[in-house]
Amino acid sequence: PQLANQIAAGEVVERPASVIKELVENSLDAGATRVDIEIDRGGSKLIRIRDNGAGIPKEELALALSRHATSKLKSLDDLEAIMSFGFRGEALASISSVSRLTLTSKTADQSEAWQAKAEGTEMAVQILPAAHPVGTTIDAVDLFFNTPARRRFLKSDKTEFTHIDEWLKRIALVRRDIHFTLKHNGKSVRNYRPANTETQYLQRLGQVCGKAFAETCLHINCNHNDLALTGYLQAPSSASGYAETQYFYVNGRLVKDRLVNHAVRQAFSEYADGVSPGYVLMLELDPYQVDVNVHPAKHEVRFHQSRYVHDYILQALQSAMLQSAE
Ligand code: ADP
Ligand code: MG
């Protein structure tokens, strides 16, 4: 089973940023409102994720580390309309097969916290009492220590940090309700406070996309029929180009989709031709109207009514830009 885990790890765990993605998504699934990320040496030495979610009951600690142990798939319907991030039940097993992993957790109805340790190929999981508030902390130390070929594929600490930072930006833009912090080599580098009001969100937008973007962007809020498009768009007049600031989410998931890109570019071309549009946009629609699992790694989606979605995006953006130009 350990070999199977390591093979699965090749798919789930490519680099520190992918470990962090899996662990933070678990924290969010567990209802955390605050997630603290700590890394050393670009995450290759230490990745520590601490959350204030529901916690893992003592009797499920060892199980959580075993493959296909998911508490999240209840029926086939769930698979169809999956809104929760995790559904495969192999992230923790995969990560523990290629690192020294410690899981510390406490649920609200337990009087004490418990800790489970797993280390690479040693399968025996020990459960010991520990000190921890309600929630979970996962330490993944020495990533790929037992798979040297993969360890050699890691880039410089700085490059790995950049991947982590970029992933955190993506999630921070859409999970405005969550307080995220990031520490690198003992130093606080990001602090995204909860942004439940518009003013707070513009502040977060400034932290993530730069002050200039946050100060000049247009607000989109288009909601009719069964689709809603909200977010921020570079104002046509601020023609400096924002190729780095292109975030489009469908039901909370970042997508990089041809149809979406086409609609956005077409909307922009009339106002600022040749300029890279900058945007942070969220499209919400009936989950049954979209397949999100077409290609998870490539962030592709498939809309059942693609023409309709395309034109909706196009018109929403066009009318926002038209209004601002008046
Ligand atoms: P999946 O997320 O696909 O269910 P994982 O391997 O990522 O599979 O996690 C296995 C299980 O461990 C989860 O289903 C969940 O029950 C539990 N778990 C993992 N991380 C956390 C966390 N931070 N808080 C609470 N439970 C967690
Ligand atoms: Mg998961």
Q: What is the ipTM of this complex?
A: 0.99
- Residue of 269 and 134 predicted with greater confidence: 134
Digit-coded pLDDT (tens) for 62-106? 888 876 666 765 554 555 444 444 446 788 988 998 999 999 999
Residue ranges of alpha helices (H) inside the chain are 2-12, 16-29, 61-64, 76-80, 91-97, 148-153, 157-174, 198-209, 211-216, 258-269, 306-325
Beta-bridge mates of residue 102? 117, 139
Contact, 124 vs 161, CB < 8 A? no
The first and second tokens of residue 295, run together, are: 């290609």
Contact 262, 154 (CB under 8 A): no
Distance CA 268, CA 129 (A): 58
**Residue of higher predicted confidence among 291 and 142:** 142
The pLDDT assigned to 303 comes to: 94
**What does the pLDDT average to over 191-220?**
95
- Beta-sheet strand order (sheet of 253-254): 218-224, 227-233, 279-285, 246-250, 253-254
316 token code pair: 């929403």
Nearest C-alpha to atom 8 of ligand 1 is from which residue?
A: 89
Q: Got the DSSP string for 222-260? A: EEETTEEEEEEE--TT-TT--TT-EEEEETTEE---HHH
Q: Which whole number is the average pLDDT over 11-35? A: 93
Beta bridge partners of 282: 230, 249
Mean pLDDT of the 162-175 span: 97
* Average pLDDT value over all residues in the chain: 88
- Give residue-wise pLDDT tens across range 293-317: 766 667 888 999 999 999 999 999 9
Helix, strand and coil content of the chain, in percent to the nearest 5, comes to 40, 30, 35
For the domain 210-325, what is the CATH code? 3.30.230.10
Q: What is the pLDDT of residue 51?
A: 98
Residue 155 pLDDT > 90, yes or no?
yes
pLDDT above 90 for 157: yes
pLDDT score recorded for residue 326: 73
Every domain of the chain and the residues it spans: 2-192, 210-325
CA angle in degrees (0–180, nearest 5) for 195-15-144: 130
Q: What is the pLDDT of residue 289?
A: 92
Residue 56 CB less than 6 A away from ligand 1:
yes
Residues 6+ apart with CB under 8 A from 215: 206
pLDDT in tens, 180-190: 999 999 999 99
Going from the Cα of 107 to the center of ligand 2, the distance in angstroms, rounded, reads: 18
27 lines ligand 1 (CB under 6 A): yes
Across 245-266, average pLDDT: 92
Mutate to test the pocket of ligand 1, among 18, 29, 67, 79 (most ligand atoms within 8 A of CB): 29
2-192 has CATH 3.30.565.10 classification: yes
Residues with Cβ within 8 Å of residue 178, at least 6 apart in sequence: 28, 32, 33, 34, 35, 171, 172, 192, 194
CA distance linking residue 281 with residue 265, whole number of Å:
13
Q: Which one has a higher pLDDT value, 120 or 152? A: 152
Task: Say which residue, 173 or 117, is predicted with more confidence.
Answer: 173
Helices 306-325, 258-269: axis angle to 10 degrees equals 30
**Ligand 1 pocket mutation pick from 70, 73, 74, 95 by most atoms within 8 angstroms of CB:** 70
Is the Cβ atom of 157 under 6 angstroms away from ligand 1? no
